[in-house]
Structure 1
Amino acid sequence: MTDLAKIPVTVITGFLGSGKTTLVRHLLQNPQGKKLAVLVNEFGSVGVDGDILKACADENCPEENIVELANGCICCTVAEDFIPTIEALLARPVRPDHILIETSGLALPKPLLKAFDWPAIRSKITVDGVVTLADAEAVAAGRFAPNLEAVEAQRAADESLDHETPLSEVFEDQLACADIVLLTKTDLAGEAGIAAARAVIAAEAPRKLPVVEVSEGQIDPRLILGLGAAAEDDLAARPSHHDGHFDHEHDDFDTVVIEMGEVAEPEALQAAIQRLAREQHVLRVKGYVAVTGKPLRMLVQAVGERVRAQYDRPWGADPRRTQLVVIGEHHDIDEAAIRKVLEG
């Protein structure tokens, strides 16, 4: 690659828990001979996703090429974080061949695409493509699609439900900016759910989009890297609910970090996380758990009542402590109540 060649950037977006980090980890493990760099944006101060990805660092993507942006949503901190980070990556002795950006699950991709038109970086990088992940089970259930019959029936029964929720707007904006949609969690949705999810995506997308089913992030990188979309030049075809706004606010969502000591009964903690989804409408929980008597830390990832836990690596020099990031809509977040449920 010559110094004058633009470095392609793939923006990976999708709702909370749709599988973005799993996909990026797969791409890092299958780099196709490319030198990669990753920007990962978290919603909350505990860098769970970045830590997972750094465990995949190798000669094709050394740890210093995996950068966390944790000062806020990437689409709202362009000048403060995104531009300087890109410039720092481009100034590395060995420039990356391809950059992956994993946005937070609450990010709107269009403001980020607009940042690629900034004079400081426009001649150096280009948006190769926007890959949007959609949880097939959630989409089929109508959680992020306001026009499904079930949602319409609920709206008709409740006069207060006369507007789209913030979650549906995030989902629709992420679809609107996509060049390709990856349908994840298909094993949980079943054939009928997959068909329903495909129908929702077709109805909500502003143009016809290719939809590919994936499991555990396993996809041939050639399907999503090298699209050559130059999305920064194609913004008019990617409409947003927030077009015309100077920026976009995240006042609709809150995040709290719950720190605890060692946990003697991890199954009870997982049951408590499920309670949070049922009783307090928590959207997402992720973090690490120190389990009594276990030398490995336990990684917890929860979307609604779906909780996954696995022991990922030894604690090493890290302090043994439990840290959980809890994300929900603003009116549902009650830190004291959340802590009471988790601590039993």
Structure 2
Amino acid sequence: MPAKIPATVITGFLGAGKTTLIRNMLTRNDGRRIALIINEFGDVGVDGEVLKGCGDALCSDDDIVELSNGCICCTVADDFIPTMKKLIERGTPPDHIVIETSGLALPQPLVRAFNWPEIRTRVTVDGVVTVVDGPALRDGRFAHDVAAVDRQREADEGLDHETPLSELFEDQLACADMVVISKTDTMLGTEVDALTADLAAQTREGVHFVRSTGDGLGADVLLGMGIAAEDDLDARAELHHHHHHDDDDDHDHEHEHGHDEFESFVIEMGEIADPAVLTRHLAEAIRAHDILRLKGFVAVAGKPMRMVVQAVGPRIETYYDRPFGAEGRATRLVVIGEAGLDHVAIKAAIRERVAA
């Protein structure tokens, strides 16, 4: 029987840095054939497109699969298992599979899925990597501005005054074999040390803590842990009860982690004359409308390369990744926030003020 294909699960909140981590890893992959499963949250597959921009040799279309029909841990039977079967049954299967979950996904149901008969003899969970936003945690938040979610959840006595995001954060830590603290180049060394000690107190013994900057981490750090997490489920069980029932073998299980509290929509525009003007108005719109995350691609007048935009709260990052291809020169931005976003006002604040 051939050796099992290792798979790494990368989880963490929106904007923690999962996509950046994976993109940088692919440029330092030690020659591995890596397949990616991306659980996008939003109407446009931005994360997949960003990863495809890392170079045709490393990120062919066949090696990147996007699951955009909902949270991956809620669609195991319909999406995840069939996708895994296709990858491992290819004529030339990948050397490693990397799974980027959505920001709201629980890792435990996904790890349990590796024991399904259809895949359990062919693939194993090499390790679970949880990415956390260092500066946000330093400032007392586990994600960008969750005050509104806290207020809504604190009004519900049935939730024991715990917000779904706080529970999810704890469960992501509980399942982790490695915790990557992102954006540590924007923190003091003493702050990173204190944060690491705090996180270590919330995780299992033996969990590794790794600091990451904008340069990311190589495949030799993230891959090859050899944990076989699917055989160690008791040690990484959820701390909170998210499921409607406890039958792990029921293919229709669901969990309650507040998907309906979020929404997303797309802003489409033509070319942008001045990226600095765009960035300024994006920042203003984010502040004015409590936008959780904004990401996408921008066509800048006079520039053959497309510009990638990724914003989490007040932090906005831009870079040029590759020339426009078959998708055509266009600007497409995905806006993600709590339910009730003012689409008209946000579109007006961006589209009508920055077009070339």
- One-letter amino acid of the structure 2 residue matched with residue 257 of structure 1: V
1:136 counterpart residue number: 134
- Aligned CA distance change for structure 1 residues 239 and 281 (closer, same or farther; 3 Å): farther
- What TM-score results when the alignment is normalised by the length of structure 1? 0.88
After superposition, the C-alpha distances for 1:260-302 in whole angstroms (9 at most, x for unaligned) are 2222232222122222332222111100112233222211010
- Aligned CA distance change for structure 1 residues 295 and 219 (closer, same or farther; 3 Å): closer
Q: Residue 284 in 1 paired to residue 259 in 2?
A: no
Whole-Å Cα distance in 1 between the matches of residues 46 and 69 of structure 2?
14
- Aligned CA distance change for structure 1 residues 330 and 205 (closer, same or farther; 3 Å): farther
Q: Is the 8 A contact 1:21 1:53 kept in 2?
A: yes
2:333 counterpart residue number: 324
After superposition, the C-alpha distances for 1:1-41 in whole angstroms (9 at most, x for unaligned) are xx532111001111212221222223322233432211111
Question: Given the alignment, which residue of 325, 343, 346 partners 1:338?
Answer: 346
1:301 counterpart residue number: 310
Whole-Å Cα distance in 2 between the matches of residues 171 and 196 of structure 1?
18
Whole-Å Cα distance in 1 between the matches of residues 155 and 218 of structure 2?
45
- One-letter amino acid of the structure 2 residue matched with residue 236 of structure 1: D
- One-letter amino acid of the structure 2 residue matched with residue 22 of structure 1: T
1:248 counterpart residue number: 255
Secondary structure of 2:263's counterpart equals: strand
1:47 counterpart residue number: 45
Q: Is the 8 A contact 2:9 2:98 kept in 1?
A: yes
Question: Given the alignment, which residue of 67, 70, 82 partners 1:69?
Answer: 67
1:259 counterpart residue number: 268
- One-letter amino acid of the structure 1 residue matched with residue 333 of structure 2: L
- Aligned CA distance change for structure 1 residues 237 and 85 (closer, same or farther; 3 Å): same
- What TM-score results when the alignment is normalised by the length of structure 2? 0.85
Question: Given the alignment, which residue of 84, 87, 90 partners 1:86?
Answer: 84
1:132-281 paired onto structure 2 within 5 Å: 132-144=130-142, 163-207=161-205, 209-240=207-238, 241-245=240-244, 246-249=253-256, 250-281=259-290
- One-letter amino acid of the structure 2 residue matched with residue 167 of structure 1: L
Deviation at 1:207, TM superposition (A): 4.5
Secondary structure of 2:301's counterpart equals: coil
Secondary structure of 2:260's counterpart equals: coil
- One-letter amino acid of the structure 2 residue matched with residue 338 of structure 1: I
Whole-Å Cα distance in 2 between the matches of residues 32 and 319 of structure 1?
33
Q: Is the 8 A contact 1:40 1:101 kept in 2?
A: yes
Deviation at 1:63, TM superposition (A): 3.1
Q: Gaps (5+ residues) in structure 1?
A: 146-150
Whole-Å Cα distance in 2 between the matches of residues 193 and 282 of structure 1?
27
Whole-Å Cα distance in 1 between the matches of residues 234 and 30 of structure 2?
32
- One-letter amino acid of the structure 1 residue matched with residue 32 of structure 2: K
After TM superposition, the structure 1 stretch with the greater mean CA deviation from structure 2, 163-172 or 199-208, is: 199-208
Q: Is the 8 A contact 1:116 1:127 kept in 2?
A: yes
- Aligned CA distance change for structure 1 residues 199 and 41 (closer, same or farther; 3 Å): same
Whole-Å Cα distance in 1 between the matches of residues 274 and 15 of structure 2?
24
Kindly report the root-mean-square deviation, in angstroms, between the aligned alpha carbons of the 2 structures.
2.5
2:106 counterpart residue number: 108
Number of residue pairs matched?
Answer: 331
Q: Is the 8 A contact 2:53 2:321 kept in 1?
A: no
Secondary structure of 2:14's counterpart equals: coil
Q: Is the 8 A contact 2:104 2:168 kept in 1?
A: yes
Secondary structure of 2:349's counterpart equals: helix
After superposition, the C-alpha distances for 1:167-191 in whole angstroms (9 at most, x for unaligned) are 3233222211100111110011222
Deviation at 1:141, TM superposition (A): 0.9
2:250 counterpart residue number: none
- Aligned CA distance change for structure 1 residues 197 and 97 (closer, same or farther; 3 Å): same
Whole-Å Cα distance in 1 between the matches of residues 84 and 221 of structure 2?
24
Secondary structure of 1:122's counterpart equals: coil
Deviation at 1:308, TM superposition (A): 0.8
